[in-house]
Structure 1
Amino acid sequence: MAPSAPDRPWTPTVDASGALTAAPASESTPPSQSYVLPPNPGAATFGATTIDSARIYDLADLIDLAESNNPETRIAWNEARNAALTAGIARSAYLPRISATALGARQTENGRSSVLGAQANQNNSFTGGIAVLSVEWLLFDFGERRALVAAADQGAVIADIGFTGAHQKLIHAVSVAFYAYSAACARAESTQASLKDAKDIELAAESRKKHGEGTVVEVAQARQLTAQAELAKVDADGDKSNAYLALLSAIGVSPLSHIQIADVSQRPLPSGLDQPVDRVLSDALQRRPDVLAAIAQQKAADAGVRAAKADFLPKFFVSASGTHASGNVDLSAVPAVGDQAPTVNLSNHHWGATVIVGVTIPLYNGGVRNAALAQARNRADSAAEALDRVKLDAAQEVVMADSKLHTSLAAVSATRALLDASEVTYDAAFAAFRRGVGSSTDILVAERQLLEARNAAVDAHSAALSAAATLALACGSLGQAPN
C-alpha cells in the first residue's frame, strides 16, 4: 500500500466515488509520474448555506449566520454531548450487569478397557444445549463510584463551558473581521476621494501653466500625485477584497459567497468609560469560560483523589446466575464470554441457580494503588496551580483590553480633530493654489496629510469597535452581537 521508493511517486487507487483508497494499485494501473494526486469530485463541494443576495447583513445577522454554519460550533457541541455521555456511563456503575449466554455442545468419549485379558472399547457421543443468565451488582464501594461520577459531571461542565466559549470566540472573530472589513471599505472610499482631489490638483496645475502662472514641474508633480493616488486606490481595493474574504472565513461560508455588508463607518462611539477597571476585573473573573473551566477541572481532580483513596477499601457485591442444560452434555464449567461471568458445575437435564454475596479486600498489588493515588494528588495540585495561572492571565488580558479600549477612544477624538484641521488646511491650500498665490509644494503636502488623516480616523474608529469587542470577550460577557 505504501509508495514503492522514497523518490518515486505514490500510485493511488480510486474507488467508484472518486475517493482515494489504500488498496494496492493493480498491475494494469500505470505507475504515477507525478506527485499530483488524482482529483476527488466530492471534495469540491461546500455545505449548503442560505444567503439572501438582496438582503443587507448587519453584524447580528452575520453572527447568526456564522453560528449556523461555522464548523467550530458543531465540533464544540459534539464534544459537549460526548462529555454528557461519559457522565452517563459513569452513572451506569450503580446498576447491575445482566448478561445471557446460549451454548450448543457436542461431547465425545473414546476409551479402551482391559480386564483379565479381555478388552473392551467404549465410544460415546453426547449432544445438548446450555443457557446461562448471570447478574453482577456492586453494592457498596466506600464512595469510589460517587467520586468517579462527580469527576465525569465536572467533565461535562467543562465541555459545556467550552461550547459557550467557542460561541464567544466565534462572535468575537466575526465582529473583528466585520469591523476590519468596514475599515477597509472606508479606506477604499478615502483613496477614491484622494484620487478625485489629485485629479482636481492636476487640472488646476495645467490651468495655471496654460495661463502662464505655473510651471512644467508643477504639472509633473500633480500628475505624479494622481499616479500615486491611483496606486493607493488599487492597494485599498485589494485590502478590501482580502478583508471581505477574511470575514467570510470567520463566518464559515464559501469564499465564493456574495453577501451585502452593512456600513458602520459612521457608527457613534461613547466618549468614555465610567466603570473602574477593578470592578471590570472582578466581574470578568466570575464569568470567564477559562476561569470557570479551571474551577471545574480542580473539582474533577479532587474527585479523582477521592476515587483513588476509595480503591484501597473493600467492595461488597452480589452475583447470581441461572442455568438450564438439556441433552446429554455434562460440563464442569462454562468459561467467561464477554460480559458473561464463568459458570460452574453444569449437569445435563437440570435447572441451576447460584447466588453469591461477598466482599473483596485489596491487600497487595505491587504499589499500583499507591502510585495511582500519588498521581491523583499531583493532578489535584496541578489543577489548583493552573487555576491561579488562569486567573493571572485573565487579569492581564482584562486590564490590557480595558487600557486599549480607553486608548482607542482617545485616539478617535484625536483623529477627528486631526481630520478637521487637515480638511481646512487642504481647502485653503487648494484655493490659494488655484488663485496663483499658493505653491505646489503646499497643496501636495496638504493632500497627502489629508489622506493620512482620513485613514487614521477610519483606523481609530475600527480599532475602538474591535477593542470594545475584545474587552467584552476578555470579560466573558460577549454573548451576542456587541453594542
Structure 2
Amino acid sequence: MNAKQAAARAGLLAMFCYAPPALAFDPLFSQQGVSAGPGGNLIPDGQSCAFGALRGPLTLGEAVERALCHNPKTREAWADVKAQAAALGAARAAYLPTLSGSWQDVRDNSVSNVTDHPALSSNTAASVRSESLSLSWVLFDFGSRAAALKNASALFAAARATQDATLQAEFSAVSKDYYAAQAARGALEAARDIERVAGDSMAAAQARVDQGAAPITDALQAETQHEQAVFNLTKAEGDAQAALGTLASEIGFDPDLAVSVPAAGDGDAPDKAFNESIAQLIDDVKRAHPSVLAAQAQLEAALAKAEQTRAEGLPSVSLVGKYSRNNQPASLGLGIPTYPATGHDAYIGIQVTIPIFEGWGRHYQILQAEAEVERQRAEVDRVGQQVALDVWTSYQALRSATQNAAHSATMLQIARRSFDAAERRYQAGVGNILELLNTQTALATARQRRVQTLADWHDAKLQLASRLGRLEMGDTGVPPGLK
C-alpha cells in the first residue's frame, strides 16, 4: 500500500469516526431522552421555536413559547442535558473494546563516520513505512464501569429534571410579566377614564361657579383633583411602557420593541372552589416536583461516584493485542551495506492491572466522595422543604387573591354607584364638591384595585401551578383540582 492509498484510508476512517452532529450519529442510544429544542416537553417537537415578527396583540401562549425557546436559562439547561447525554454515551462506550491504528512514512538518512576506519563508516538513506493496530478491551473491573454508568445515568436524569424545573420557572416568570403588562395597560386605561371624569367634574364645578351657585373653592378643588389625575395618567403611561419592555426582553427582544397585549377582562372569573387539601399538595410536590427529582438524581449520582471511586482502586482484567509491520532496511553489521527488508510483530493476551500503592490518594478521594454524598442528602432535604414552603405560600396567595378579586368587584360596583349619585346630586345643586371629589377618588381607587386584583389572581394561579410543577402549554394555569 503506497502513501496515497494509506492517506485515503485514514481520511475515510476519520470521516466515519468523527461524523458531524447534523448526522445525529448515536450508536449507543444516549440521545433518546434529549428534547428537540430548549422548550423541552412543553414544546415537544421544537417546531414552534421558529417565530416571525410580532403581529397583533401578544397572547400568553405565544409569549411563553418565545420565552421558553429564546431565554438563556432554558437554552443553558438544554445544553446541559445534551452534555450529560454525551457523558452517558461515553460511560456506555467503556464496555466496548478500543482499537487504535497508526501509519508512518518517513525518509530515514543515517550517517556514521568511524575515525581512522573509513571501511566501517556508513551512509544510508531509505524510505521507511510502518503500520500498527492495537486492541484493548477491559473484561472485568470489579464494578468500576458499572458505577460510572450509574453515575452518568443519574446525572442525565438530574439534568432532565433540572431542565423541567427551569422551564416551569421560566413559564411562571414570563406569565407574571405578561399579567403585569396587562395590569399596567388596565391601570393606564383606568387612569385615562379617571382623568376624563375629573375633567368633567372640573367643568361642572366651574359652570356652577360661573352661575354663582358655588364658591370659587369648588372649582379650585376640582381643578386640583384633575391635575392629580393628569399626574397619575403620566405615571401610568410610564409604568405601562416599563412593563411592556420587561415582557419584550423576557421573550427575546430588545425592550424598546413595540409590544401590545390584549386588555384584561373578567371572562375567566375567579372561582373559590379548592378541591385539593394543602396537605395533599405538599405531599405530592415533595415527591414529584422537578427540583426534588433533580436533587434525588444528584444524590444517586454521588452514591454511584463513591462506588466508582472505590472500584477504581481494585484490579482489572483486559484483553490486549497488537499487530505491526515495517520495511526498515537491515544490515549484518557496522560498515556492511543495508538491504531491503520487511518485518512484523504481533501479540494477543490477557493483562491484569493491580493498583498496589497510590500514595493514599485513593483513600482521600473516597472520603471526598462520601462527603459529597452527605452534602447531596442535605440538599434533597433542603429542596423538599423549599418546594413545600413555596406551595404553601402560593396556595395562600391564591386563596387571598381569589377573595380579593371578589371583594374588588363588589367595591367597584359600590364606588361607581356612589359616584353616579354624588354627580347627580352635585349637578342638581344639592350636593357639595367634597362629596363629589371623594366619590371620584374612591371610584379611581376601586378601578385600579380591580385591575390589579384580577392580574394578581391570574398570576397566583400560574405561580401555584409552577410550584406544583404542573404547568403545560395550553393550560389555563389552574392546577387539576383547583379549578
The one-letter amino acid paired with 1:254 is D
Paired letter, 1:275: E
Contact 2:270 2:406 in 1 (8 A): no
Give the Cα separation in 1 of the matches to 2:301 and 2:430. 80
In the alignment, which residue of structure 2 is the partner of 1:291? Answer: 292
1:311 aligns to what?
312
Deviation of the 1:156 alpha carbon:
1.4
Q: CA-to-partner distance for each residue in 1:240-272, whole Å, 9 max, x for gaps?
A: 111111111121123344444222332312124
Residue 282 of structure 1 corresponds to 283
Indicate if the aligned counterparts of 1:100 and 1:131 stay in contact, CA closer than 8 A: yes
Distance 2:107 2:346 in 1: 20
Aligned to 2:228: 228
Partner of 1:468: 461
Q: Is the 8 A contact 1:96 1:137 kept in 2?
A: yes
Structure 2 partner of 1:64? 65
**1 CA distance for matches of 2:362 and 2:390?**
41
Q: Which amino acid aligns with 1:112?
A: V
State the AA in 2 paired with 1:313: L
SS in 1 for 2:473: coil
Superposed displacement of residue 131, structure 1: 1.5
Q: Is the 8 A contact 1:126 1:327 kept in 2?
A: no
Describe the superposition over 1:269-301 as per-residue Cα deviations: whole angstroms up to 9, x where unpaired: 212423210111122223211100001001101
Backbone CA RMSD of aligned residues: 2.2
Q: 1:105 to 1:222 in 2, by over 3 A?
A: same
Deviation larger for 278-287 or 460-469:
278-287
Q: Which deviations, in whole Å up to 9, do the C-alpha atoms of 1:33-78 show, x marking residues without a partner?
A: xxxxxxxxxxxxxx9951352x443212322233344343333222
Question: What is the SS of the residue equivalent to 1:212?
Answer: coil
The normalised TM-score by structure 2 is: 0.81
Q: 1:440 Cα shift?
A: 1.3
In the alignment, the residues of structure 2 paired with residue 272 and residue 196 of structure 1 have an alpha-carbon distance, to the nearest angstrom, of 39
Q: Which has the higher helix share?
A: 2
Please list, as runs of the form range in 1=range in 2, the aligned pairs for 1:318-333 lying within 5 A after superposition.
Answer: 318-328=319-329
User: Deviations for 1:422-455, whole angstroms, at most 9, x for unmatched residues?
Assistant: 2222222222221222221121121112111111
CA drift of 1:348 comes to: 5.0
In the alignment, which residue of structure 2 is the partner of 1:402? 395
Post-superposition offset of 1:172: 1.1
1:176 equivalent in structure 2: 176
The answer to whether the 8 Å contact 2:186/2:264 transfers is: no
Question: Could you tell me which residue of structure 2 aligns to residue 362 of structure 1?
Answer: 355
**Following the alignment from structure 2 to structure 1, what is the Cα–Cα distance between the partners of residues 363 and 119?**
62
**Structure 1 residues 225 and 252: CA distance shift in structure 2, 3 A:** same
Q: Residue in 2 aligned with 1:202?
A: 202
Is the 8 Å Cα contact of residues 272 and 406 (structure 1) preserved in structure 2? no
Deviations 1:386-442 (A, max 9, x none): 101110111111111111111111111222222222222222222222122222112
Residues in 1 aligned to 2:312 and 2:224: alpha-carbon distance in whole angstroms: 83
Name the CA distance, whole Å, in 2 between partners of 1:426 and 1:153. Answer: 67
Instruction: Give the Cα–Cα distance (whole angstroms) in 1 for the partners of residues 103 and 62 of structure 2.
Output: 60
CA distance in 1, matches of 2:452, 2:330: 89
- Opposite residue 124 of structure 2, the aligned amino acid is S
Could you say what secondary structure the match of 1:112 adopts?
A: coil
Per the TM alignment, residue 183 of structure 1 is displaced from its structure 2 partner at its CA by 0.8
Structure 1 residues 329 and 321, CA gap change in structure 2 (3 angstroms):
farther
Asked whether 1:91 is paired with 2:92, we answer yes
Farther-moved stretch of structure 1 (257-266 vs 277-286): 257-266
Paired residues of 1:113 and 1:120 also in contact (CA < 8 A) = no
Matched, 1:162 2:155: no
Quote how far apart the aligned CAs of 1:302 are: 0.7
What SS class does the counterpart of residue 214 from structure 2 fall into?
coil
**Equivalent position amino acid for 1:159 in 2:** A
CA deviations 1:335-364 (Å, max 9, x no partner) are: xxxxxxxxxxxx952122012312111111
Give distance in 2, aligned partners of 1:146 and 1:472.
38
Task: Determine helix, strand or coil for the equivalent of 2:136.
Answer: strand
DSSP 3-state at the match of 2:121: strand
**Residue 101 of structure 1: CA displacement?**
1.6
Identify which of 411, 424, 447 aligns with 1:454: 447
- Give yes or no for contact 2:99–2:134 (8 Å, CA) kept in 1: yes
Aligned partner of 1:28 in structure 2 is none
For structure 1, list consecutive stretches of 5 or more residues without a partner in the other structure.
1-46, 331-346
Equivalents in 1 of 2:197, 2:66: separation in Å? 40
CA deviation profile, 1:136-188 (whole Å, cap 9, x unmatched): 11111011011111111111112222222222222112211111111111111
SS at match of 2:399: helix
Cα pair distance change 1:173/1:481, threshold 3 Å: farther
Deviation, 1:233, is 0.9
The answer to whether structure 1 residue 428 and structure 2 residue 421 are counterparts is yes
Aligned equivalents of 2:270 and 2:185: distance in 1? 19
Q: Check conservation: 2:244, 2:260, Cα contact below 8 A.
A: no
Secondary structure of the structure 2 residue equivalent to 1:262: coil
Distance 1:91 1:48, change over 3 A: closer
For 1:125, the equivalent position in structure 2 comes to 124
User: 1:170, 1:250 within 8 Å by CA — same for their partners in 2?
Assistant: no
Counterparts of 1:428 and 1:195 in 2: how far apart (Å)? 19
Q: For the Cα contact (< 8 Å) 2:186–2:263, is it kept in 1?
A: no
Give 1:372's aligned residue.
365
- Between the aligned partners of 2:443 and 2:86, the Cα distance in structure 1 is 61
Q: Once structures 1 and 2 are overlaid, which stretch shifts more, 296-305 or 451-460? A: 451-460
1:50 to 36, 49, 52: 52
SS of residue paired to 1:275: coil
The structure richer in strand per residue is 1
User: CA separation of 1:134/1:438 partners in 2, compared to 1, >3 Å: closer, same or farther?
Assistant: same
Distance 2:475 2:206 in 1: 50
Greater shift after overlay, 272-281 or 297-306?
272-281
Aligned partner letter, 1:200: D
Alpha-carbon distance between aligned partners in 2 of 1:225 and 1:288, rounded to the nearest angstrom: 51
1:235 positional shift: 0.9
Q: Which amino acid aligns with 2:112?
A: N
For structure 1, which segment, 212-221 or 281-290, has the greater mean C-alpha deviation from structure 2 after superposition? 281-290
Q: CA deviation at 1:111?
A: 5.2
- SS of structure 2 residue aligned to 1:102: strand
- Seen in structure 2, the aligned counterparts of structure 1 residues 235 and 119 have a Cα distance that, compared at 3 Å, is closer
The residue that corresponds to 1:101 in the other structure is 102
The structure-2 alpha-carbon separation of the partners of 1:303 and 1:456, relative to structure 1 and needing over 3 Å to count, comes to same
Tell me the TM-score normalised to structure 1 length: 0.81
